[in-house]
Structure 1
Amino acid sequence: MAKAIPRVFTSSYHGLCTFHIMQNAAKHLSPVKDKDNEECEEEDECEEDNEESHILKDFSACMYGFEDKTTFEEAFDIMRSKVRKQTWLDSIYKVKEKWAECYMRNVYTLGVRSTQLSESFNNALKNHLKSDFDIVRFLKHFERTVQEKRDKELEAEFEARKKIPRRLMSTPMLMQASKVYTPAIFEAFQSEYERSMAACSKVLDGNTYGIAIGSLNGDSFEEERIVTCDPSKQIVSCSCGMFSRTGILCAHGLKVLDLINTKTLPAHYILPRWTREACKGNIQDSQGMNNICCNKPAAARQTIPFLLYLFQLVS
């Protein structure tokens, strides 16, 4: 699968499911405890077990906590020295570009780092499918599953049109975002906007700023980020890379937009896929042809015959 993906999906990035990696880490790195939970007989053994009990936290930090590759390498080497059997660590290290945060900072993941979406659909299929179904019965049950998903989509669309998301404050940017974004995306955006209100800034050089976000009690600050901007084009670029990964502008960028007196969110920071109008307009395939099925409103879409769909994938 790993060899086939770059050949077939040439413009994609193959990442590994972080949930399953952590499951494997717990299996290979967790300390082995006695069934009776007896106390260690020697103090050295207790200290060793205490060290191993923190291995999973160390591994999680390597997966999510380090943005600098050098820092990641140092932390991984320290963690490796605490592990008795290093076979699994060595094998997972070889594919670190597929799971470590510092190697995926510019990967367009939309915040998805696990296979939960596909597994959720697989589970929905299992509710209607049996291994002894013939192809006709399979297609009927497959379409039933797809229809259930579309019904839920219609319900979500109806709720989004009927209700305006709750705003923590009334500002031009939040008013704009609540009308444009879907409720779920607006909540994520509003969280970043709220964080930007607690940010401190300093001018580093011309249109370059250092932005640090304070905690709620104001006694500590997150790591400082470097944000460059072009006031004439209302463009900001942050070292955290959040927008390039998720399509939602980060609190650091929002702070700088406020500093240059930009009170509404520029259009180039509103991705169509996150808006209420995402189902409208034309969607094209890899050959530049309009996808007729996806161009229709959600209520009017018809299920693509599954065999035709498979044929298109093969061809």
Structure 2
Amino acid sequence: MKKYREYLALLYKKYKTFKEEFTAILNWPLMPTEFEDAWAELLHKYNLENDQMMMQLWSDRKMWISAYYKNIFCARMTSTQRSESMNHVLKKGFVKGTQNLHKFARRVNACIQTRMQKENEQTMTSMTNPMTKTTYGYEEDMFIKYTRAVYIEMRTRMRKATLFRAKCTAEPTKYLVYYHNKPGHDDEERFSWSKHEFQVVADPENEIYECECKLWTHTGLFCLHIMNILDYLKPDKFPNKYILKRYTKTAKSQPTFDTRDYNTTTSDDSSRHLAAAKFDG
């Protein structure tokens, strides 16, 4: 959307409610068919059927709308944001474009050491006693296993999940989860697609949890619909098989290969530098 930022700004200014509705369609966990219906409804409402920018966004929809690639695991990253983030850290606080190569190498090493220190600080913070918002066993389980940052994200989802309601179906392990408005809110009236009922399979005994929105398949973290069912069923434990190691406090428990330069001596006692490889852990 960055390519059309200026043009979108004009639409936002021209139509006061367009930004809210447009953003809602992009961010709501819609299925492909629902997204297409909502998009058509939006264009018709603001008479944008022949708008070139909107037509271009529509033609590229399968490249940037999450509804079309929910089956692809992305670990919560949909771009090269990790490398971009490190580049930003390096440029902002450690290196300059005019530095000599040997100074550049030292500053990169200093950056790595700083990041490792911050990660260790976060690890120590994660080892504190549980500070859960509820007494539910599955929330305490999340606190114990997830990193601090991921646990905070999941706790936020627990709160947002209360915006939904669940109802049973004829099958005991299947539920329908739907968005429920607060009194005085008219989102459902303005956004007809928000009435969709997501089918959730929840079998605590066999630790099976699945939702048709496929957010866990896409990111490795439970969606609001499953979090709503957890609140409904209140299981004693969070299902282990749905906790990916990459999000846990033990993500780095395996030995990692590390290279460091250090001084050593040869048989004739002359000093030399060697790049030593060792396993930490």
Mapped partners of 2:250, 2:98: distance in 1? 41
**Higher relative contact order at CA 8 Å, sep ≥6: structure 1 or structure 2?**
2
Name 1:71's counterpart in structure 2.
Answer: 34
Name 2:95's counterpart in structure 1.
Answer: 129
Mapped partners of 1:167, 1:261: distance in 2? 15
- Pick from 200, 204, 224 the counterpart of residue 166 of structure 2: 200
What TM-score comes out, normalization by structure 2 length? 0.71
1:247-266 pair list within 5 angstroms: 247-256=220-229, 262-266=235-239
Name 1:45's counterpart in structure 2.
Answer: none
Query: What is the aligned-residue identity percentage?
Result: 20
Q: Deviations over 1:171-219 (max 9, x none)?
A: 2212222211112212222333445566332224343221235456698
Mapped partners of 1:122, 1:177: distance in 2? 32
Name 2:104's counterpart in structure 1.
Answer: 138
- Name the amino acid aligned to 2:43: M
Q: Which runs of 4+ in 1 moved over 6 A?
A: 218-222, 258-261
Mapped partners of 2:94, 2:27: distance in 1? 37
Mapped partners of 2:113, 2:124: distance in 1? 16
Q: What is the aligned-residue RMSD (CA, Å)?
A: 3.6
1:258-297 pair list within 5 angstroms: 262-281=235-254, 292-293=256-257
1:156 deviates by 1.1
SS in 2 for 1:130: coil
- Pick from 188, 193, 209 the counterpart of residue 153 of structure 2: 188
Q: Is the 8 A contact 1:67 1:102 kept in 2?
A: yes
1:27-66 pair list within 5 angstroms: 27-31=6-10, 50-51=14-15, 53-65=16-28
Structure 1 unaligned blocks of 5 or more: 1-20, 34-48, 283-291, 294-300, 309-315
Name 2:67's counterpart in structure 1.
Answer: 102
- Name the amino acid aligned to 2:8: L
Structure 2 unaligned blocks of 5 or more: 189-193, 262-274, 276-281
1:158-177 pair list within 5 angstroms: 158-161=124-127, 163-177=128-142
In the superposition, relative to structure 1, how do residues 88 and 165 fare at CA in structure 2: closer, same or farther (>3 Å)? farther
Q: Does 1:239 align with 2:212?
A: yes
Mapped partners of 1:111, 1:123: distance in 2? 19
Q: Deviations over 1:20-71 (max 9, x none)?
A: x2x43331233289xxxxxxxxxxxxxxx743x5444454244223613233
Is 234-243 or 110-119 further displaced after alignment? 110-119
Q: Deviations over 1:47-106 (max 9, x none)?
A: xx743x544445424422361323333444453874598444344333322321321323
Q: Is the 8 A contact 2:75 2:220 kept in 1?
A: yes
1:243 deviates by 1.6
Q: Number of paired residues?
A: 251
Q: Is the 8 A contact 2:175 2:199 kept in 1?
A: yes
Mapped partners of 1:209, 1:102: distance in 2? 21
1:254 deviates by 4.4
1:75-86 pair list within 5 angstroms: 75-77=38-40, 78-79=42-43, 82-83=47-48, 86=51
- Name the amino acid aligned to 2:176: G
